[in-house]
Structure 1
């Protein structure tokens, strides 16, 4: 081979070595990229799972708060009802005391004792939590004393009003007790929902913190993945460039080899023709093939001589051109002997999968 050919051969060997080196690097980077993607997807899954937990806990807190607030509203209404009843009771007892103070009776000690006794009983009725029997006993005793006072003071009409007011007061006290019991019951229910909100809040904060941390890690690994994809694409570009040069060299080498083979065949054919013509002209013995070949050559030479004699400017078509055309067509049809990159690397570097950047 010539010096130029030797130089090209050295370049080709260098390109092949570089090609193998780049393929090894690309495979290593591909494995690293896969590991980075797996880690990124793991953080993404953790983030999404914890965000779902956060959403569910927020919904639970909202429901508990709404129920607690609804119960608190009922508590406020019951308290307002209880306060209104107490105000009515105070008004009733004020009127009773006013009526009793206007009762006229004997100035005897018995009358004063009876009035003091009534006041004591009424005070107990207002300030103490009495049983039903005790309440009835006090009411009956007051009624007896006041009946005596009415007789003494001839204040029957006022006493009737006092009795009516006391019956109304007992009814209002029952309603006040019911309102108070309702307040206590609802307060217990409200406290249950409030405690549930307090219990959920630390879990909610923990999941939010974990989701934020996972998202931060996801963004970091997403950047690594994108950098790895960019680097792998650059490596693929270099591989394609070298592969193109190797393919070009292979084509050029095959063209040269085919041309040399074609010229060699022409030279051999020319030698056969010249040998056959020489034998024919010298009268030597020829084989049948040599005779046909020599006769055809002599006949063609005579035809060419006649054309030249007639001064024809028409040129004959070169008989070797169809052969060259056929050779060229065969060259195009035949597969190139090039070094192909692994299909796996081809697929991944051509269409690398991407994670959606919306998560960022």
Structure 2
């Protein structure tokens, strides 16, 4: 694999754990350094995405809470609007009832005024003077002896006075009823006007609430759009983070295997060096033994023991 980066196989094929076995010690060393850098880079990218998704989620939660407050305010306004509409309905019913009563009283007032016009002068006559005159005539009738024609004239006069007194009383009663009706009609007119003004005030308040609700609906739609956009961003970031985590895990497995392979090669190299040294030393001891030169216990052990025992 000389002449190319150990991080990739030929034809841009991703490096696998199995392919690590074919790398030399130098290639493994370069690969380990490359993998460390690559893993560190991927972890940095993942950290950036995690920080971003955390920020997006916090922003989304903030918007959701603000939207919840708007929805609560909207529900409160809706309840207030319904309450006002119920009050307006009650006022209209009361106003309609008063209008019917006003119409009836107005008709009664017109009749009373016509009667007052025809009998109005009678109400101005002094009732006390008529009653005193009646008493005088009745006293005269009881205490005097009169000729028949005088007696008849006196009776006629008494009858006329009694009738007039009754008419005056009725005229006065009619005038009193007229004044009472005028007061009632005026009071009803004022009540109707007050209810009309109150109804208009409630309509204005309902209109204001509807306008405010309309603005809140628009804001809620804006919040929905922002929340949906953030939700989509979270959906985009999550698989990207998962993909980076998988890449990191895969590279880390290769990294661990490359380190183990590198360590094994180092150990094997050191073992071969020891074997070479041991063989050289045994050759020297063999020649010394063949010349009949004395050997120490350690030297005899090195000369006649198995190689595996000596390098283990």
Among 115, 119, 122, which residue is 2:117 paired with?
119
Asked if 1:68 is matched to 2:88, the reply is yes
Is 2:128 the partner of 1:141? Answer: no
Q: TM-score, normalised by structure 2?
A: 0.61
The within-5 A match list for 1:1-360 is: 4-5=23-24, 15-16=35-36, 18-30=38-50, 32-33=52-53, 36-37=56-57, 40-41=60-61, 43-89=63-109, 119=117, 122=120, 140-141=123-124, 151=160, 154=163, 167-265=176-274, 284-286=293-295, 290-291=296-297, 294=300
Per the normalisation by structure 1, the TM-score is 0.55
Deviations 1:225-249 (A, max 9, x none): 3212222322232222222212211
Q: What is the aligned-residue RMSD (CA, Å)?
A: 4.5
Q: Is the 8 A contact 1:75 1:186 kept in 2?
A: yes
Counterpart in the other structure of 2:150: none
For structure 1, the 5+ residue unaligned runs are 98-117, 123-137, 302-317, 324-360
Q: CA 1:54–1:270 in structure 2 vs 1: closer, same or farther (change >3 Å)?
A: same
Higher relative contact order (CA 8 A, sep 6+): 2
Structure 2 stretches lacking a partner, 5+ long:
3-21, 132-156
Q: 1:295 to 1:278 in 2, by over 3 A?
A: farther
Task: Indicate conservation of the 8 Å contact 1:30/1:232, yes or no.
Answer: yes
Structure 1: distance between partners of 2:236 and 2:254: 28
Q: CA deviation at 1:219?
A: 0.9
CA 1:211–1:81: 2 relative to 1, 3 Å: same
Q: Quick check: 2:102–2:188 contact (8 Å CA) kept in 1?
A: yes
In the alignment, the residues of structure 1 paired with residue 77 and residue 227 of structure 2 have an alpha-carbon distance, to the nearest angstrom, of 23
> 1:173-213: CA deviations, max 9, x gaps?
44434333322333333333222222333222222212211
Task: Tell me how far apart the structure 2 counterparts of residues 166 and 80 of structure 1 sit (CA, whole Å).
Answer: 24
Q: Output the CA distance in 2 between the equivalents of 1:72 and 1:320.
A: 114
Cα distance in 1 between the residues matched to 2:303 and 2:194: 128
> Aligned pairs, how many?
263
User: Could you say if the C-alpha distance between residues 210 and 142 of structure 1 is closer, same or farther in structure 2, counting changes exceeding 3 Å?
Assistant: farther
